[in-house]
Structure 1
Amino acid sequence: MSPAIPLTTLQSALGGALCGNGERSVERLAPLDEADAGSLAFIAQPRYEAMLRRSRAGVVMAAPALVGAVLQRPDPPPGGWCAWVFPDPYLAFARLTQWWRQHVAPRPSVVGIHPSAWVHPTARIGAGVSIGPFAVIDEEAVIGDGATIGAHAHVQARAAVGAGTHLGSSVVLGYDCRIGAHGIVHAGTVIGADGFGFAPEPQPDGGRAWVKIEQLGAVRIGDAVEIGANCCIDRGALGDTVLEDGVKLDNLIQIGHNVRVGRHTAMAGCVGVAGSARIGAYCTLGGGAIVLGHLELADHVHISAASVVMRSIRQPGHYSGVFPIDDNRAWEKNAATLRQLHALRERLKALERRTT
């Protein structure tokens, strides 16, 4: 059970205005439909007002327009409800979760190198670093101040982990790869595996074998990047694969070799980005979306879930595309026809007007 935190303490840390019973204390953060009088919840959209009216949350983060709905709920607890008012309650709640993780949620108590970990004598380990059981830090690797290396993680030769960055259990940071400060890499992710590069070699029987192209680049990741569990980010073939500052990746994402992802772009689960694609800043890719190789997406492009990006997108906007699988030749013909469908519709409407 978390200790009760006076609401005034939270307000001092995060700002906002209190309406109603500002003397309440908060024992937990909870969703509206599961909260009780000791809980803090948030409402960001008016469409959730029906859920708010049923909620028992003692404190609700809300926009100014929803303060009345928060305070006028039936059957208030002793002292009454409280609205904690922010222009953007969703963003404020995100800040609150960070404060809560730092001050209330349990954190690793051990700082230092676990006896079962192996650290090469040439590795450079900063101050306040935590290295978990059976982790491996290879030669000339650099671990920045305050970084955390989880159990069974492997930081390979000459790789670098920025200050305050956390590598989860069984993460692999490949040789010569770098991740910046204050990042998070969740369990099982591999950064710096070989990219998928093979040259065909003709065989006597008319087939072909595959000859490996050694991947000689690395991966460079900026500051404040979060990478979900079981992702694969391949090293470049010659140059580097790059994720710029603030990129957020969900679980089970594949980033091919020599891809570049612009700052603060976010991708949902199971996205695949093929080699040498260039994705701009502030983009979003919905779950299961695919970007084919060597394409470019401009800044502020948003791709719907399960869409396949088959051409470069030069203008900001929201793009969608789902098409049934078919024999490739038939699919190409149908796709070409589909792209003309709007023009055909307009021509049909014009013909109808002429005949009526």
Structure 2
Amino acid sequence: MNSAAQASYTLGELAERIEARLVGDANLRVSGLATLTDAGPGDLAFLANRAYLKYLADTRASAVLVHPAHGEACPCPRLELENPYLGYARLSHLFDPLANQPSRGVHPAATVSPQASLGAHVEVGANCVIEAGVEIADDCVIGAGSFIGADTRIGRGSRLHANVTLYHGVTVGERAILHSGCVIGGDGFGFAHDGQRWEKIAQLGGVTLGDDVEVGSCSSIDRGALGDTVIGNGVKIDSQVQIAHNVQIGDHSALAGCVGIAGSTKVGRHCLLGGGVGLSGHLTLADGVQITGMSLVTNSILEPGVYSSGTGSMSNSQWRKNAVRFKQLDEIAKRLTRLERDMRDS
């Protein structure tokens, strides 16, 4: 059986898959995807950003996926689509070497509890540990070295890459992708202070991930203190993201790298959080909120829109001057208030 990496498709087949308009030979075969500058014979390239239009005329690709507005400038057969980047995303799965690999079953070096339930065509890699009460649905892949704690459930078609850790009582929906080093269901940061030292609060909730969720490498999603931490359907989480206990994230939101969300904050549906964004605890973000990179959010946002905080980069000398002025703002505001009052009274 050929792997996905060796597969080839006719332009006619690809056009039908993404409902694109084909201009050229429908029987021309391509066996890979590449950028305009790197493509060679046998490759399908794509143009999704006008900044790269200058490379179109000289591409060596056998065919190009383009917007109809750029079709006439294409020197080779083409697939025309209103959203070529979306078309590229859908076609990329056809050439993924991990796709369509036959299941290799349970590796002899894996430890699987007899009280665990594994569905059909489940692959379990070397040195995995699967505890009692675990339920893994059909067509799942559990990468080498992964740990799945007691009473955890994993939905159909999900993939855990190597060295993923799922604590006890975690629920993962269908078609999830969890990348190496991510930890789902660790204890939330819950402590009570007696005036001298910290007393740990047992974290009694769990974590629920919806369908089609992706979690990047080395990201952490903490279990709830009482109820579950809940990640909605279609949520995409980048690498090195920290999600604290009892956070709720609505369907189809996306979090870029190094986002940090404090406990019990609720993020709406279709929200976008840029890299390094920090959300304080117990906040609410409405549906459709976009936070630009490195922003700190300390109050709830109840209307959709784009929000930012902080200052853009500048020379250090200019920043030092501004830092002094920032410290003077309170006094300036008080002086302005007095001046306005004096003007009213005069």
Q: TM over 0.5: same fold? A: yes
- Shift of residue 22, structure 1, vs aligned partner: 3.6
Q: Which residue of 2 aligns with 1:215?
A: 203
Is the counterpart of residue 179 in structure 1 residue 172 in structure 2? yes
Change in CA separation of 1:98 and 1:3 when aligned onto 2, cut-off 3 Å: closer
Residues 152-171 of structure 1 aligned to structure 2 (within 5 Å): 152-171=145-164
CA distance in 1, matches of 2:32, 2:105: 31
- Shift of residue 287, structure 1, vs aligned partner: 0.8
CA distance in 2, matches of 1:182, 1:106: 13
CA distance in 2, matches of 1:23, 1:84: 13
Count how many residue pairs are aligned between Structure 1 and Structure 2: 320
Q: What is the TM-score normalised by the length of structure 1?
A: 0.84
Structure 1 contact 46–66 (Cα < 8 Å) conserved: no
Q: What is the TM-score normalised by the length of structure 2?
A: 0.86
Equivalent residue for 1:61, pick from 39, 60, 65: 65
- Shift of residue 152, structure 1, vs aligned partner: 0.9
- Shift of residue 7, structure 1, vs aligned partner: 1.9
CA distance in 2, matches of 1:106, 1:260: 31
Q: Which residue of 1 aligns with 2:294?
A: 306
- Shift of residue 69, structure 1, vs aligned partner: 1.4
Change in CA separation of 1:336 and 1:189 when aligned onto 2, cut-off 3 Å: farther
- Shift of residue 37, structure 1, vs aligned partner: 2.8
CA distance in 2, matches of 1:230, 1:283: 22
Change in CA separation of 1:323 and 1:86 when aligned onto 2, cut-off 3 Å: closer
Residues 196-345 of structure 1 aligned to structure 2 (within 5 Å): 196-202=189-195, 208-323=196-311, 334=326, 337=329
Equivalent residue for 1:127, pick from 120, 123, 146: 120
- Shift of residue 335, structure 1, vs aligned partner: 8.8
Is the counterpart of residue 2 in structure 1 residue 10 in structure 2? no
- Shift of residue 3, structure 1, vs aligned partner: 4.8
**SS of 2:132's equivalent?**
coil
CA distance in 1, matches of 2:46, 2:327: 45
The alignment-based identity, stated in percent, is 41
CA distance in 2, matches of 1:149, 1:31: 32
Q: Deviations over 1:248-280 (max 9, x none)?
A: 001111000000000000011111111111000
Equivalent residue for 2:93, pick from 81, 98, 101: 98
Q: Deviations over 1:138-171 (max 9, x none)?
A: 0111001111111111110000000110111111
CA distance in 1, matches of 2:205, 2:135: 19
Structure 2 contact 32–95 (Cα < 8 Å) conserved: no
Change in CA separation of 1:86 and 1:214 when aligned onto 2, cut-off 3 Å: same
Structure 1 contact 185–227 (Cα < 8 Å) conserved: yes
Structure 2 contact 186–222 (Cα < 8 Å) conserved: yes
Q: Deviations over 1:187-225 (max 9, x none)?
A: 1110000000111122xxxxx211101111000010000
CA distance in 2, matches of 1:106, 1:20: 28
Q: Deviations over 1:269-317 (max 9, x none)?
A: 1111111110000011111111111111111111111111111111111
Structure 1 contact 296–314 (Cα < 8 Å) conserved: yes
CA distance in 2, matches of 1:336, 1:134: 60
- Shift of residue 323, structure 1, vs aligned partner: 4.9
Q: Which residue of 1 aligns with 2:82?
A: 87
**SS of 1:199's equivalent?**
strand
Unaligned runs of 5+ in 2: 313-322, 341-346
CA distance in 1, matches of 2:262, 2:148: 25
Unaligned runs of 5+ in 1: 72-80, 203-207, 325-330, 349-356
Q: Which moved more, 1:297-306 or 1:9-18?
A: 9-18
* Superposition CA RMSD, Å: 2.4
